[in-house]
Structure 1
Amino acid sequence: MSSTASWAYGPIENIAREKVLALPSGQTIWSQYEMTRQDVGSSILPYIATQEPGLSDHGIAHIANVMDNVGRVLGMNPSGAVDPGSRLEKIGASELLLLLLGALLHDIGNILGRERHNQVTEQTWRKSGKSSYNLWQNPDRKTIMALCQAHTGKASDGSKDTLKPLSASAYYFLGSQVPIGRLAAILRFSDELAEGEQRTSRFLLFQRMYDRENNEVFHRYAHCTNLTIDAAGDRVALDFRIELDDFQGSEDSLSEFRELLSLIFKRIAKLDDERVLTRAYAGDWLPFKEVSVVLEIVSDGDTIIELPQIVLNDFNTRAKGGFELRSINKNYDLEEVISKVEAHLGS
C-alpha cells in the first residue's frame, strides 16, 4: 500500500469533521488534519511492517482501530452514531481533533525500531516526505507529542504512570488550554483496547512464519482475542477462544500453549490496571468500572474447557497489579488449566 486511497474515513473522523468545520477557521484546520493523515498514511504507516516484520500490526488498520476505540469509549455506538448525552456529544472540536492526531501519530516511531518508539515520534514526523509537521504551530505540536509520548513506556520516576508528569505543565491546542491528562488517558486506553485478530495474519501465523523466539506468541494472542467496548455499561468485555488444533504438529505444543495462556493472564491483569489508571485521570469521562473475562479452549470444534466469567473491578483487584486471577475464581489457576490441556493432548 503506497497511498491512503483505500483508507476510508471512519465514523469518528466524520463526527470530528462536523465539529471542526463549525469552528471559525474550521476548514483550514480540517485541511491540516487531512494533509497530516495523507502524509503519514502514505510515507510511514504502510512501511512499519517492513522495518519491524515481527510486530503485530502497527499500520493503517491499527490506527483506524485506535481511532474507532476513541469514539467507542466516548460513547459512539456500533452504528457510528453519537449516543445522546454521551461524552462524545459533549467533547469539544479541538479536544476530539487532538485525540485523532494522537491516534494517527502515536506509533509512527516504530518505523525506526520498536525500542523507545514513543520517544522518536517528533523526529519521525518531521522527516516525513510532505512535511505536514510544519502545518501546525509549535504549541500544537508540543501538545500532540505529549499525547503520543504518554501512550506507553515509563515515566521519569520509573513507574508506568506516564500521565502524571503531564500535570506539571499547561498544554495548548488551537489557541486554547486543553485537559492533557484526561486526553492522554483516553488515547492510552484506546490503544490498549486495540487488540484482536485484525492485528495478525492467520496465514503467516499457522505457516509458522513469525519468529517463535520473539513475536509468535503475541500473534497467537491477537488471533484468539475478541474485545467489546460497552461504554454505556462502563465495561470492557474480553472473550478468548483458544483452538488447540492450532498447536498440533509442534514438538513444543504444550510449551507454546503455556506461553500463550501465561500471556493472556498477564494481559488481562494489565488491561484492568489500565482501566484503573484511566479512571484516575479521566474518570469523569471514562468511568469504566469493570473488565469481564470468559475463556474457552476448543479442540476439533468441541469445547474441552470453558472457564466461567470473571469480573475484575475496583473491589477485587489492585491498581498496581500483583494479584492472581485465581484469587477471583479458582478455575483461573494457570497450572490446573495447563494440566487439563496436557491430559487432552496426550489422549
Structure 2
Amino acid sequence: MNLGSFRTLEEYFKSIDENIKLIFPHDDKYVTRYNYLSHQLNTWIHPYVVKGGMTVDGGYLNDHGPEHISKVILRASQLVKNSDIILSEYETYILLMSIHIHDVGNILGRVDHEINSLSIIQKFGIHAGHDRIEWECIFEIAEAHGGHPKDKISDLAPDTILDFEVRKPLLAAILKLADELAEDRSRASRFELQNGLLPELAEIYHRYSHCLHSTVVDIAGRQIKLSFDVEEKDLCKLFKKKVKDAEGERVIEVYLINEIYERTYKTHLERMYCMRFTRPELQINKIRVDITITTDKMDHRNKPIKKQISYDIGEVGYPSTASEGIFSICPTLSEFTGEKICRMSIDQCLTNVTATY
C-alpha cells in the first residue's frame, strides 16, 4: 500500500477495485461494506454520542461525532504516510473500522466506553459481515485505545484472520496515537464555550482543545509539533476538574497552563508507549510544544503583545519510576505554572521566556 497522492487512508481505501482477486477474504465486497457502514455510523450513531453521554453521565463530552472520526483517520494517515509502514488492503479496512467504533460506546456513558462499543455495533451485524473472528479482531484493536489496564496492546499479537495477516499491535498503536493527536480545537464546543454554557466540570477539556490550534506530524523530523494559543485573561482562572486517584474520586481546581503541561506530558507518554509497537517502520522521538500567550497589552502598531513558552518533551537521563511528570523533563516550566503566573504580573513572569529541552 502506498498512499501516494491520497490525503487519507479512507480516500485510498475507497479507490480500491474490490473485484481484484485475493486482496480481501472470500473476495467479499469490503469497499462496498465500508461505504455502507461508515455512512450508517456517521448518520445514526456518531452525531448522538455526546447527547447519549450527557444523558448517562450528566457531563458534556468534547466532540465525538463524524468530524472527530475524520480527524482520527487523518492523524492515522499522517502517521502512516511518509513512514515505512505498509498496510495491506485488508489491514486498512480493519484499521478504518476500528477507528469508526473506538468511541461509539460513549453513547452509553464514559465508563467502559471502549468495551460498550460491542453492544452498539451488534445492531449492524447483519450488514457488517457475519464473521465473528473478523469483528473480534476489530473490537480488540478499538478497545486497546483506552480504559484500564492502560497496557492493552501488549496483550495483542499478530494474527491470521481469514487467511490474511493482521498486525494487531501495529494497528492498535496507530489508532491509539492518532486518537491522542486528534485533541484539537475542532473538538471544542466553541459556541457553548464563548457563551458560558458548559457544565463547570467540562469546561477545562473544551478550553484545552480550543487552545490547541495546530498539530503537525513531522515524520522526517521524527517529532510531533503542538501549537497552542492562550489568552492572558484565561491564565489566572481556575477550572474545576474531576480526578480519580488513590484518594478516590474528587474535584480539584486547575489552571489552564498547568493542564496544557499535564496533557502534553500525557501525549509524550502515549508516544513512548505506541512507538514500542511501531518500530522500526515508524519512529517519533519527541513532542515539540509552542504556547503563544496573547496579552492584553498593545505594541506600537496597536497589535496585541505576545509571549512564548516553548519546550521539547523527549526521553532524557536514566528511566526512573520516581517522576514529577513533565517537570522532571522540563524543570524550568515549574517557574511558569498557573500559581506563579498569578502571583506575578505576566511581564515579570514571561519576559523573553523560551524554555527548550
State whether TM-score is above 0.5: yes
Instruction: Give the 3 Å change call, closer, same or farther, for CA 242–30 of structure 1 in structure 2.
Output: same
CA drift of 1:12 comes to 2.2
| Equivalent position of 2:84 in the other structure | 87
| Equivalent position of 2:9 in the other structure | 12
Q: 2: CA distance between counterparts of 1:66 and 1:321?
A: 33
| Equivalent position of 2:50 in the other structure | 49
Instruction: Give the 3 Å change call, closer, same or farther, for CA 209–320 of structure 1 in structure 2.
Output: farther
Question: Over aligned residue pairs, what C-alpha RMSD do you find?
Answer: 2.8
Instruction: Give the 3 Å change call, closer, same or farther, for CA 35–174 of structure 1 in structure 2.
Output: farther
State the secondary structure of the residue aligned to 2:147.
coil
| Equivalent position of 1:79 in the other structure | none
Conserved in 1, the CA contact under 8 Å of 2:180 and 2:267?
Answer: yes
Choose which of 210, 217, 222 in structure 1 pairs with 2:198.
210
2:260 paired with 1:264: yes
CA drift of 1:291 comes to 0.9
CA drift of 1:45 comes to 0.5
CA drift of 1:136 comes to 4.2
State the secondary structure of the residue aligned to 1:286.
coil
State the secondary structure of the residue aligned to 1:219.
helix
| 1:230-262, Cα deviation, whole Å (9 max, x unpaired) | 122221011222112357xxxxx5323943222
2:151 paired with 1:151: no
| Equivalent position of 1:254 in the other structure | 237
Q: 1: CA distance between counterparts of 2:195 and 2:93?
A: 41
**Residue segments in structure 2 that go unaligned for 5+ positions in a row:** 1-5, 55-59, 240-252, 297-302, 349-357
Choose which of 169, 172, 182 in structure 2 pairs with 1:184.
172
Instruction: Give the 3 Å change call, closer, same or farther, for CA 121–183 of structure 1 in structure 2.
Output: same
CA drift of 1:151 comes to 0.7
Conserved in 2, the CA contact under 8 Å of 1:221 and 1:264?
Answer: yes
| Equivalent position of 2:233 in the other structure | 245
Give the TM-score, by structure 1 length. Answer: 0.81
Instruction: Give the 3 Å change call, closer, same or farther, for CA 209–131 of structure 1 in structure 2.
Output: farther
What is the percentage of aligned positions where both structures have the same residue?
Answer: 24
| 1:215-239, Cα deviation, whole Å (9 max, x unpaired) | 1100000000132111222210112
| 1:52-73, Cα deviation, whole Å (9 max, x unpaired) | 3410101100000000111100
CA drift of 1:340 comes to 2.7
**Residue segments in structure 1 that go unaligned for 5+ positions in a row:** 1-8, 76-82, 248-252
Q: 1: CA distance between counterparts of 2:216 and 2:7?
A: 18
State the secondary structure of the residue aligned to 1:228.
strand
2:133 paired with 1:139: yes
Q: 2: CA distance between counterparts of 1:19 and 1:329?
A: 46
Instruction: Give the 3 Å change call, closer, same or farther, for CA 269–275 of structure 1 in structure 2.
Output: same
2:153 paired with 1:163: yes
Q: 1: CA distance between counterparts of 2:322 and 2:104?
A: 29
Choose which of 107, 117, 136 in structure 2 pairs with 1:121.
117
| 1:98-135, Cα deviation, whole Å (9 max, x unpaired) | 1111111111111111111001111111125x8534x2
Paired residue total: 314
| Equivalent position of 2:354 in the other structure | none
Conserved in 1, the CA contact under 8 Å of 2:255 and 2:339?
Answer: no
State the secondary structure of the residue aligned to 2:229.
strand
Q: 2: CA distance between counterparts of 1:298 and 1:171?
A: 51
Aligned AA (2:76): V
Give the TM-score, by structure 2 length. Answer: 0.79
| Equivalent position of 1:3 in the other structure | none
Q: 1: CA distance between counterparts of 2:53 and 2:87?
A: 36
Aligned AA (1:290): K
Query: 1 or 2, which has the higher helix percentage?
Result: 1
State the secondary structure of the residue aligned to 1:218.
helix
Aligned AA (2:167): P
Q: 2: CA distance between counterparts of 1:203 and 1:320?
A: 42
Aligned AA (2:205): F
State the secondary structure of the residue aligned to 2:313.
strand
Instruction: Give the 3 Å change call, closer, same or farther, for CA 74–20 of structure 1 in structure 2.
Output: farther
Query: 1 or 2, which has the higher strand percentage?
Result: 2
2:213 paired with 1:219: no
Aligned AA (1:63): I
Conserved in 2, the CA contact under 8 Å of 1:240 and 1:294?
Answer: yes
Mapping 1:336-347, distance limit 5 Å = 336=337, 338-344=339-345
CA drift of 1:346 comes to 12
Conserved in 2, the CA contact under 8 Å of 1:279 and 1:287?
Answer: yes
| Equivalent position of 2:326 in the other structure | 325
